Amino acid sequence: MKRDIRGFVASAVGICSLGIGNAYGQAATHDYAILDDGASGSNQDPFLEFFSEDGSNASWIWTRSFGQMDFAHNSRPFLRVTNEVNVDTLRLNEFGLGIGTTSPMEMVHVESDGSPFDRAQVLVRDTQATAERRELLRLENNGDPSFVFQDLNNGGDTEFRLFGDSDAFVINHITGGVAGPEFRLDRTGDVTIAGALMQNSDVTTKTAIVAVLPNDVLKTVEALPISTWQYKTDDPETRHLGPMAQDFHAAFGLGPDETKIAPADMAGVALAAIQAQQKDLTDKDQQIAHLQHRVAELEGLEARFTAIEAQLSD
């Protein structure tokens, strides 16, 4: 049980040494308070209470067995510190707050070597009954805020940095001090990547596969309006070329809606149209070859008739 120690004996010994609830203080070189309820038994918990004069608000601290300390306000516990596994799970010093480490290197430092935590994980969970968008994490800085992802297994030589840069979101891969960036998403929606764009096209991930008639695709492409244009957020000198998503969707029925065009769909339409054109060119080449053969035959006949006429005239 908890026992209020406000009425217990207090004695001071030396400098900055105070004993509360017992008849002795500590050495003068120590600077802390000692709480002891003076009773025996496994459930005798020393108890310290701070309260307002009218008693309407009270905060208290009490210690429990097995190295546990509870902090509460108005009978509502808000913090429990334990040391049940005989290791430091929470440490606050001049460098910061350490969780799983006794030597925090930042204001908040979470670390695990497998004990007492099996991993250094931070969970932010909102369990309100109403489902809606909520801001659960915010980074603010007088400059570009950033995240750093670093693999300690390779000696920390490679890292990814995610940061804001002039109204853009950037992924910067740094290896041996050499920086990217490899990915940039501007506030206008423009995406710039340093490598190739890979889209999934694995046949094992697809269903309802239907062959197309390239000639039909080509005829549709021939009727598709193609324009040059600008996005409203583009600089005045920036131009683009292509169809409107509404016209593309109406012509081919591709994609989830009429405001977007998937690069894979655009490439598929272009390839089908190219196939149709190539087939047409191949057919025409065959026709030309046939006509050239007929012309050669006729030219040969003409040469024979010319020779016969020359013989008859003699």
**Mean pLDDT, residues 3-24:** 42
Most confident range, picked from 17-21, 81-85, 99-103, 134-138: 134-138
**pTM of the model as a whole:** 0.62
In contact, 24 and 12? CB cutoff 8 Å: no
Residue 21 CB neighbours (<10 A): 21
CB atoms within 10 A of CB 96: 14
State the pLDDT at residue 141. 85
Element containing residue 280 per DSSP (H, E)? helix 263-313
Rounded distance between C-alpha atoms, residue 17 and residue 10, angstroms: 11
Max mean pLDDT range (9-18, 169-178, 305-314): 305-314
Say yes or no: domain 203-308 is CATH 3.40.50.
no
Task: List, for residues 125-136, the tens digit of each pLDDT value.
Answer: 999 999 999 999
Higher pLDDT, 314 or 169: 169
Residue 9 confidence (pLDDT): 37
**Residue whose entry in the numeric block shows the structure tokens 């012309």:** 295
Q: What is the mean pLDDT of residues 187-197?
A: 88
C-beta of residue 272 within 8 angstroms of C-beta of residue 218: yes
Give the type of residue at 294. Answer: R
Q: How many whole angstroms separate alpha carbon 187 and alpha carbon 143?
A: 17
Average pLDDT of the chain to the nearest whole number = 79
pLDDT at 62: 60
Contact call for residues 77 and 66 (beta carbons, < 8 A): no
Residues 85-130 have pLDDT tens digits of 545 677 888 889 988 888 889 999 999 888 767 889 999 999 999 9
* pLDDT at 66 (0 to 100): 55
Residue spans per domain, the chain: 2-81, 146-193, 203-308
pLDDT in tens, 225-237: 999 999 998 889 9
d(CA 216, CA 209): 17
> According to the model, what pLDDT value does residue 199 have?
92
Collapsed DSSP state (helix, strand, coil) of residue 214: helix
Lowest mean pLDDT among 141-155, 243-257, 276-290: 141-155
pLDDT band at 3 (very low <50, low <70, confident <90, very high): very low
Q: Yes or no: say if 273 and 280 are a contact pair by the CB < 8 Å rule.
A: no
Q: For residue 288, which phi and psi values (nearest 5 degrees)? A: -65, -45
Region label for 14, one of left (φ > 0), alpha (ψ between -120 and 50) or beta (otherwise):
left
